[in-house]
Amino acid sequence: MRRMIYYGIIFLVGIILQFGWSQFLSFAGLVPNVIIILLMFVGLTCGPVPAQVLGFLWGLSWDALSLDLFGTHALLFTILGYLSGQLSHKWNEGKVINQMALTLFANSFFWVGTFVIYQVFAPGEFKFKVNYIMVVQPFYTMLVAPVLFKIGEEFMIYAQRNGSLD
């Protein structure tokens, strides 16, 4: 039960950071993809199951709040959660360079995946414009990643001390 609360808190933090406070992290109209960073963190530290479930829920939330093709984010975040979980205990998540590289890859995968989904599931109906955001945003997300990983690690240590992750 405590573990569920721990994941529930992470879910809420993701929603609040991405949807409520993103305007305070914006730069030239760009917002880092906080949810992808948290997804990588959860996948690396907790394994594929919580990461894919959280990814699915975050994706569903994003789809509900946006005007995009419904299901796009749910599908992509589930896949990203699963893939990051596969690296759990095989990848040193404490190294900043690893955190940045993984986040860069995940955010680039997200944009490529979005493009593919639009082509497959809604050709001609939902327009997808390739622009500078898709190139710049992964790098911006990559720069923010170590900060959120550090906060996440501190929170995880706190949760372990309280027995939430036993």
Partner 1 sequence: MDQDFVTHRQGNYLFIFLLAISILLLTTHVTEYVRGIKNFLFYILMPAPSSAARLVNANQKISATIGELVSVHRQNVELTRQLERFSSLENDYRQVIAENARLRALVSFTPPAQKKTLAAQVVLREPGSWFQWLVINRGKSDGVIIDSPVIVWTDDGPAVLGRVGELFEHSAKVVLISSVLSALPAMSADSQDDGLLEGQNGGTMKLSYLAANGKIAVGDKIVTSPLSAIFPAGIAVGKVLRITPSSDAHFQSAHVEPRVNFNALREVTVLVTD
Cα–Cα distance measured from residue 95 to residue 36, given in angstroms and rounded to the nearest whole number: 17
Cα–Cα distance measured from residue 78 to residue 89, given in angstroms and rounded to the nearest whole number: 19
Question: Taking CB under 8 A as the rule, which mask of x and - marks residues 83-122 in contact with partner 1?
Answer: --x-------------------------------x---xx
Q: Which stretch binds partner 1 (CB under 8 A): 52-60, 90-98, 142-150, 152-160?
A: 52-60
Under the binding rule (CB under 8 A), the answer on residue 127 touching partner 1 is yes
Q: How far is the CB of 95 from partner 1 (least distance, A)?
A: 22
Q: How far is the CB of 118 from partner 1 (least distance, A)?
A: 10
Could you list the residues that contact partner 1 (CB under 8 A)?
3, 7, 12, 15-16, 18-24, 26, 28-31, 33-35, 46-50, 52-53, 56, 59-72, 74-75, 78-79, 82, 85, 117, 121-122, 127-129, 131-133, 137
